Structure 1
Amino acid sequence: MPSALPIPADALDWRECPHCGQFCRLGPRRPGMVAECPRCAEPLWRMRQVNISFPLACATAALPFYLFALVAPFLEIEAYGRFSLARLDTGPAQLLAQGWGLVAALVFAVTLLAPAAKLAILLLVLGGRHVLPPRLLKLLFRWYLPLSPWAMIDVYLLGFLVAYTRLTGMATVHLDTALYALIGYMLAMAAADGSLDIEALWRKLDERGNHPHQHTEAGPIGCDFCGLLNHAEEGEPCRRCHTPLRHRKENSIARAWALVLAAALLYIPANLYPFMVVTQLARTQGYTIMHGIVELAQNGLWPLAFLVFFASITIPLIKLVLMVYLLVLTQLGRTDFLIARARAYRFIDFIGRWSMIDIFMVSILVALLRFGRFANVQANLGAMCFAAVVVLTIFAVSAFDPRLMWDALEQPEQAEA
């Protein structure tokens, strides 16, 4: 573990890099600048040029879009003289009715619950920062970043694009109002995320409440949630957001290995078993992931075929291979290629959520194609296995502590970002 370093009392000027463990002093700050770790180049603070009122306005604009998307129809189709429409919750409901409860719960969580929770946190913290108790605001805001990757409206819209190309070959498709509301929500939240200065907001929340006393003789330890550098013993709460402090994630290597191996085992049936079973005019055919990609290519939709191939075949495989590579080298205590390994970790941490495209495509198809022997779509075992692969690989990346890669070097020194 990192030894105690003579960190100045003003901990706001210091950071422990979450990716390499380097203790960094933040240099002069100007709007538009990005403070990076001098060792691994991890961004420590993106200083925005706008004040908090702009992301609050964006989040406020996103609220009616989200509420409208909940209640309005998303898509409507006509096939063989029959009509079917779907709302955002119809896909999870149909998956549950077909017996795929875990897949239904996942789709419901990342398209309805997580976006709502993220928006609620932003509105409560930004709008109530002068009214609500500081402790409550900090307890809420500490979940903003961990929750953000699970709010997958942007990925869902790509899944809709793939589903739309399949639907047009089987029915007449009418785009409905909730689709445009989802696009509005996505754009408003992207603007809020892009303009929000997270560290500046933490500091504004700090102004309303005093931090509890900490023993200055204790060693420095950075909070994984809010980034504050504490002088505390392991297990004590962060004096800003009250999260229990850890020098390194507990049992990181063992947990990451277990999740990677489970995902690798499920990756095989995810690609071998049908993803969905399609019935059209009494003819039934199962579609694996690769079968669907080939069909898109045969229909001349090469960009979509490449997108699905990259998201559903390449990304999970890359994540598994790179995670094994990182775990093996970390356990061996190797210190070569640390910068490249840090970049590889950041890459797989970013791309994992985009593999959900095919899961969303299936949820949209089962929601709309419910015409019995004329046209019907049933989810199949491949979808459940693939959904498990996506979730397990995301958890594996989260469980792995990249600072362990750098612990093979000598204890980190102080530096200026």
Structure 2
Amino acid sequence: MTTPPLAPPDDDWRECPHCGLFSRLPHIQPGMVAECPRCDQTLWRMRRATLNFPLACSLAAGLFYLFALIAPMLEVDAYGRFSLARIETGPLRLVEAGWGLVGALVFAVTLVLPGLKLAITLTTLLGLKFHLPKRWLRGIFRYYAPITPWAMIDVYLLGFLVAYTRLAGMFSVRLDTALYALIGLMLAMAAADAGLDQEIVWRALDQPDKTAPSAQAGGLISCDACGQVSNGETGDLCRRCDAPLFTRKPASISRAWAYTIAAACLYIPANLYPFMDLTSLAHTQSYTIMGGIVELADVGLWPLAALVLFASIAIPLLKLLGMGYMLLATQFCSGHMLQGRTKAYRIIDFIGRWSMIDVFMVSILIALVHFGQFANVRANVGAICFAAVVVLTMFAVNAFDPRLMWDNDQEPEA
């Protein structure tokens, strides 16, 4: 394990979340970046904008979110019949069809968690502006970072693009207000994320009268929620945000292996079994993930076919192989290619959520195409297997502590 500094920490000390190196943050100016000297992980990217900019973007995102909730998103005319869908229609139809877990997942990542993320951002920034109790705000804001990867409006819109190309080839489709609201919501949330400096927020939420740590208070330990370095031991509470402290994620290897193995077992049926069934004029055809990709390529939509191939086939497989390699190397105490393995971890962590494209596509098709024997779309067992693969691989990445890889590279203490 990385040897921490002997001096008591202050607000400028940070432990790198990817390699475990303790280092002091330099005095940087807005627009500059402080990186870990060992693995190049960004420790602080100081934003140029004040907190007023992300607050304004979040307020705009809140208005777009409300429009997306109350307005229709798509309308379809087919065979003399009319179908209208809102953003919640797809998840509800999945639940009605007996695929409750998939419906709940889509509902959570497209409606509940984006709304919760907005609520956390607005509550924290408005609370700072109107001097609400900081203890409450610290307890709220510490959930901002864990929720962010699960707010998938951007991925949902890519899934909509794939679904729209399929619908437009069969029916008359009209875009409605909620779709434009979702695009505005995605842009506003992206701008708020780009302008929000989490380090500045945490410093604004800090306790001005907190007791400084002492060298006798225990070893140095960093908070996974706010990054504060304190003297303490596993099980203590962070002196800034009150989150539980751990030197390394509890049972990291065993939990990551469990999620990875479960995802690997489901990856095969997710690709072998039909993803959805499409009925057209009393003729039903089942589509696997690869079958849908081939169909997109056959009609000349090569960019979309490549996108779905990469997101639905390549990314889950690369995540499984990458996680397996990192876990084996860590368990065998290998110190080789630490820089490369750390970069691979960052890539796997970043790309995992984009595999939800196909799940969102099916939810949109189910919401709109329900014309009985004339045209109908139903989810099949491949959809729930694939959704489980995506969620389990994200859990595996979150459970794995990359600092364990670097612990194997340290010289034993005398």
User: What fraction of aligned residue pairs are identical, expressed as a percent?
Assistant: 64
Query: Given the alignment of the two structures, is residue 67 of structure 1 paired with residue 69 of structure 2, yes or no?
Result: no
Partner Cα distance (1:137, 1:121) in 2: 9
Are the aligned partners of 2:7 and 2:215 in contact in 1 as well (CA < 8 Å)? no
Q: Deviations over 1:109-163 (max 9, x none)?
A: 0000110000000100001114321111011111111100000000000000000
Could you say what secondary structure the match of 1:128 adopts?
helix
Aligned partner of 1:200 in structure 2 is 200
Partner Cα distance (1:363, 1:397) in 2: 26
Equivalent residues in 2 for 1:289-328, closer than 5 Å: 289-328=289-328
Deviates more, 1:125-134 or 1:388-397: 125-134
Unaligned runs of 5+ in 1: none
Aligned partner of 1:157 in structure 2 is 157
Equivalent residues in 2 for 1:313-392, closer than 5 Å: 313-392=313-392
Aligned partner of 1:36 in structure 2 is 35
Query: Given the alignment of the two structures, is residue 94 of structure 1 paired with residue 93 of structure 2, yes or no?
Result: yes
Are the aligned partners of 1:3 and 1:219 in contact in 2 as well (CA < 8 Å)? no
Are the aligned partners of 2:95 and 2:103 in contact in 1 as well (CA < 8 Å)? yes
Query: Given the alignment of the two structures, is residue 6 of structure 1 paired with residue 42 of structure 2, yes or no?
Result: no
Are the aligned partners of 1:7 and 1:220 in contact in 2 as well (CA < 8 Å)? no
Q: Which runs of structure 1 show a deviation greater than 6 angstroms over 4 or more consecutive aligned residues?
A: none
Residue 4 of structure 1 deviates from its aligned partner by: 5.5
Partner Cα distance (1:71, 1:180) in 2: 13
Residue 168 of structure 1 deviates from its aligned partner by: 1.0
Unaligned runs of 5+ in 2: none
How has the CA–CA distance of structure 1 residues 57 and 411 changed in structure 2, closer, same or farther, with 3 Å as cutoff? Answer: farther
Are the aligned partners of 2:2 and 2:22 in contact in 1 as well (CA < 8 Å)? no
Partner Cα distance (1:186, 1:412) in 2: 49
Corresponding pairs, count: 411
Could you say what secondary structure the match of 2:285 adopts?
strand
RMSD: 1.4
Residue 99 of structure 1 deviates from its aligned partner by: 0.1
Aligned partner of 2:241 in structure 1 is 241
Deviates more, 1:133-142 or 1:346-355: 133-142
Aligned partner of 2:23 in structure 1 is 24
TM-score (norm 1): 0.96
Partner Cα distance (2:7, 2:123) in 1: 34
Are the aligned partners of 1:2 and 1:412 in contact in 2 as well (CA < 8 Å)? no
Aligned partner of 2:124 in structure 1 is 125
Partner Cα distance (1:178, 1:212) in 2: 50
TM-score (norm 2): 0.97
Could you say what secondary structure the match of 1:391 adopts?
helix
How has the CA–CA distance of structure 1 residues 101 and 40 changed in structure 2, closer, same or farther, with 3 Å as cutoff? Answer: same
Are the aligned partners of 2:273 and 2:382 in contact in 1 as well (CA < 8 Å)? yes
Partner Cα distance (1:2, 1:26) in 2: 17
Partner Cα distance (1:358, 1:411) in 2: 47
Could you say what secondary structure the match of 2:11 adopts?
helix
